[in-house]
Amino acid sequence: MEFTDSSINFRQKNIVIKSLRYMERHKKITQYCGEFEKSWPELSFEEASNLIRMLDKMSWQ
């Protein structure tokens, strides 16, 4: 299978976008934990799920 330059660029772009989203999400969750004086493991499953759901809906995505 042969890849053209455009398909490689498209794949690379998607990887970079996903990485940036992950890093931004990571920063926001850390900020949330700091504000509520919790550590990551102290977040309940429901709390973490709700937080990730809210972050996914934010404009930076």
Which DSSP state fits 40? G
Beta carbons of 54 and 48 less than 8 angstroms apart: no
For 47-60, write each residue's pLDDT tens digit: 888 888 888 777 55
Which DSSP state fits 31? H
- pLDDT at site 44: 86
- pLDDT at site 60: 52
- pLDDT at site 5: 54
Q: Say what the pTM is.
A: 0.56
Q: What tokens does 49 get?
A: 């799920």
Position 61 pLDDT exceeds 70: no
**pLDDT greater at residue 6 or residue 9:** 9
- pLDDT at site 1: 45
